[in-house]
Amino acid sequence: MRVGLDVGGTKTDAVAVAPSGDIVARLRRPTGWGPDAVARTITDVVAALAAEPGMESERISSVGVGIPGQVEPGTTRVVHAVNLGVDDLDLAAAVGPRLGVPVQVENDVKAAALGADAIHRAAGREVASMAYLNLGTGVAAGIVADGVLWRGSRGAAGEVGHIPVDLHGPVCRCGQRGCVEALAGGGAIAARWREAPYPVLDVFDAADAGDQRARELRAGLASGVAAAIRVLVLTADVDTVVLGGGLTALGDRLLDDIRAELRTAAAASAFMRSLHLDERVEVLPVGSPAAALGAAIVGATRDPEEVLAHG
């Protein structure tokens, strides 16, 4: 039984995956803050998962962890996981001895890309290549081709959130102007909008009610996501772009905006129309365990280089 964990800023999602690929147990727990608490969260969640119904007689063979931070290529060392209060931590060293099984670590968006690809395959909708585009506080992507994660040479693969797409756009937290994330990141939108429990949802509602500022922010979100999709297809030519992350809770309201933006932008270009970008975008079902499932796949990879085949 392979275990995969998606360690998020507030909660940790864990799955146990049978050799068949089926998810046989799943649970969520709050995530602790700081290196020690994050390590304890991981070992506690794995223990709780092992005690779930149907897991009593099962042996856990590996643990994979998806984490919102940079993972040093070829290692299990996490750096700059600011939402977890972790600056620098060798996660396998921290939890491996207590778990007693091999532990692998991957960036959570890259893990979710592998998981989204596995979900496609399990549903009989295998594609040669896909990008998973995460729309949360920030914007980042993971690319999977033939079931293999594209990691790149220095860990910047999929960082499409920081590609400037509007020279006159808002300043991004990265310091550049008009980045995809400055337009489409939930954090950037919230910072330019009023206080609200769900700021991006509030922007959508206010835009529907006719608020001009909200309409601009909403249009910027669609244009930023559309730009990221164009970049992913015109660079890596992925077959499908799967959207996930907190903002996709908006469902069809978001997807309809993005598809309309892709169609409008392509209207003047036969070349762009020939790519049918609007038909190549889809949304991961809300609550899908893509990141945890992808982490389980990473965890079962003995040699980390196997998932690093391209870099």
Buried b vs exposed e over 48-87: b needs ≥16 C-beta within 10 Å? ebbeeeebeebebebbbbbbbbebebeebbbeebebbebe
Distance between CA atoms of 149 and 132, rounded to whole angstroms?
11
Closest CB 39 distance from its own copies, rounded Å: 27
E strands present in 108-195: 129-135, 139-145, 148-150
Select the residue interacting with its own copies from 63, 149, 160, 296 (CB under 8 A): 160
Closest CB 188 distance from its own copies, rounded Å: 15
Q: Does 101 bind its own copies (CB under 8 A)?
A: no
Q: Does 269 bind its own copies (CB under 8 A)?
A: yes
Q: Does 9 bind its own copies (CB under 8 A)?
A: no
Q: Does 154 bind its own copies (CB under 8 A)?
A: yes
Q: Does 158 bind its own copies (CB under 8 A)?
A: yes
Q: In what order do the strands lie in the sheet with 86-90?
A: 70-71, 77-81, 86-90
Number of helices and strands in the chain (H, E) = 10, 13
Q: Does 152 bind its own copies (CB under 8 A)?
A: yes
Closest CB 142 distance from its own copies, rounded Å: 11
Phi, psi of 74 (to 5 degrees): 80, 5
Select the residue interacting with its own copies from 227, 290, 292, 300 (CB under 8 A): 227
Distances (CA, A) of 120 to 58, 87, 147, 151: 26, 34, 11, 20
Q: Does 237 bind its own copies (CB under 8 A)?
A: yes
| Window 280-309: residues binding its own copies (CB under 8 A) | 309
Q: Does 166 bind its own copies (CB under 8 A)?
A: yes
Identity of the amino acid at 238: V
Options 15-23, 167-175, 253-261, 288-296: segment touching its own copies (CB under 8 A): 167-175
Q: Does 209 bind its own copies (CB under 8 A)?
A: no
| CB-nearer residue toward its own copies: 94 or 307 | 307
CB 106 within 8 A of CB 216: no
Residues in contact with its own copies by CB under 8 A are: 127-129, 141, 143, 145-146, 150-160, 162-168, 172, 174-177, 227, 230-239, 265-266, 268-272, 275, 309-311
